[in-house]
Each structure stands twice: as structure tokens, then as C-alpha cells.
Amino acid sequence: MARIFITGSADGLGRMAAQQLVASGHDVVLHARNRERARQAIEAVPGARDTLIGDLSSMVETRALAELANNAGPFDAVIHNAGIGLIESRLETVDRLERVFAINVLAPYLLTALIEQPHRLVYLSSGMHRGGDPDITDLQWRRRRWNAAQAYSDSKLFDVALAFAIARLWPRTLSNAVDPGWVATKMGGPNAPDDIIQGAETQVWLAVSDDPQATVSGRFFHHKRLRESHPAASDLAVQDGLLRACEKLTGIPLPI
């Protein structure tokens, strides 16, 4: 039995992954951004041990969530599933940071830095990461004209870069990124063509399987198969630049 923490598990792929893990007898801790969502999460995954609350758009709440997770842990695996999709206009968080970057990239960085190192880490990305721009000089979209698809693609590229950086810097942790496909979640919409069950299964497989194909690190997967990622995700300058930018924004260095 493995102990697993899943962010963004009140609905969608995170909830489905939690249901699969609980059904297999694993000890699962859920996450939701507020009390109402936490209630929905535990009702949907009744076998889960607990639901931790924290709004990932706030660095204060994300730090507090990491403390809650450490009190509930240690974990064998952490699945960084939470994220937001395309938003029509540039919005800022309470920390005056661009919202897509803050939730999709900075929050998983901060949780990774603050939660006791698990044996496995899984970061949710997207096939759209291949259209991402690795330039880190305007992460907050203060100089560029807002482009929702580009901002989302950039964030998902940085998620892969983060996963690969962790794989390089933490050799005792298996760290991988996943493209779940275009699936029928709240983010993907009801007409999405890909198989949502397979999208969740890959997270579960990487979190707990002893399959030699799953016990690797620094890889990008789609439906349990290795896929090529954007070349920039493997670029050490991009990885290190992203880590420096996240450390500057949060004040928290990644433990090495």
C-alpha cells in the first residue's frame, strides 16, 4: 500500500485518479481549494483518508497546504494534478502574479520545495506544451499582449521542465510529466475526444506501479507511453532559469 497526495482532486482527472488508487487499496489524501470543494471531494472518494484545503492561487495558502501535507505524510508519491486552463484576459492573484503561471507552475514548485521529498512525483502537463515559449523574461505577461493559449502552453512547458529538473537534481525521486490528453473534464469540455480513464490511469501507474516502464525518471508520458517533449524542457539553462525565477518569486529555494 502506498500513501499518495493528489492536488486538485475534487473533480476531473485528480478525482478519478484518487478513486482508482483507493479502489486498489492505497492510502490517499485529497486536496481542494476551499471547504465546499473539500466536502465534494470526500463524498466522491469516500475511501480517501482526508482532504487538505488550500487555494493554490495564494502563496500563503500554498505554504500552509505544504505544512498540512507534511503533517499528513510522509508520502510515497505526490501527484501535482491541480491546474487551470485558458482564461480570456490576464488576471492577477492576491500576490499580484499572473494567475495561470501562479497556479500551474509556481504552486507545484512551492509544494515540491516544501513537502518532504516523496519517492515519486507526477506533474500534469499537456500536449499543448509543445507550443510553449521557454523565454522566462516575461513570466508575468506584463510586457506582452495577453494570449490565453500561449500562456497556458507556456505553463505546461514549464511543468515539464520542472519535472525534468527535479529528476536531475533529486536522483532518489522518480519525477515525470504526463499529458493526459484532451479529455472531458471541466477544463477540456464535454466534447473532448480522448479517453479520460486512460488519462487518469497514467497518473496512477506512475505513482504506484512497479512496472519497469513506470519506474523511470525525467520522462514525458501519454497514456502510459513515452512521448517526445518540447526540447526546451530538457535544456539545463531553461530548467535552472525557471528554478531561479520561482525561488525569487517565492523566497523558497528548492532543497538540493
| Residues 99-148: tens digit of each pLDDT | 999 999 999 999 999 999 999 999 999 999 999 999 999 999 999 999 99
pLDDT of residue 2: 97
pLDDT of residue 202: 96
pLDDT of residue 70: 98
pLDDT of residue 186: 53
Chain mean position to CA 215: 19
pLDDT of residue 225: 94
256, part of any domain: no
CB 204 within 8 A of CB 21: yes
pLDDT of residue 195: 67
CA distances for 243 relative to 42, 225, 236, angstroms: 34, 27, 10
Q: d(Cα 256, Cα 242) in Å, to the nearest integer?
A: 15
170, part of any domain: yes
CB 80 within 8 A of CB 7: yes
Q: What is the pLDDT of residues 173-193, one digit of tens each?
A: 999 999 997 654 555 445 544
29, part of any domain: yes
* Burial environment of residue 209 by CB neighbours within 10 A (0 to 12, 13 to 18, 19 or more): middle
The lowest-confidence range among 22-26, 49-53, 126-130, 181-185 is: 181-185
7, part of any domain: yes
123 catalytic per annotation: no
73, part of any domain: yes
162, part of any domain: yes
Which amino acid type is present at position 26?
H
Domain extent for 217: 3-250
pLDDT of residue 88: 95
Our count of domains for the chain comes to 1
58, part of any domain: yes
Which amino acid type is present at position 47?
G
156 catalytic per annotation: yes
> Strand pairing partners for 194?
none
Mean pLDDT of all residues belonging to the chain: 94
Write out the three cell numbers for 174: 522518480
pLDDT of residue 55: 98
Q: What is the pLDDT of residues 189-226, one digit of tens each?
A: 455 446 677 779 999 999 999 999 999 999 999 999 99
255, part of any domain: no
Catalytic residue among 156, 186, 224, 248: 156
The answer, yes or no, to whether residue 154 has pLDDT greater than 70, is yes
The answer, yes or no, to whether residue 248 has pLDDT greater than 90, is yes
- The CATH number of the domain where 33 resides is what? 3.40.50.720
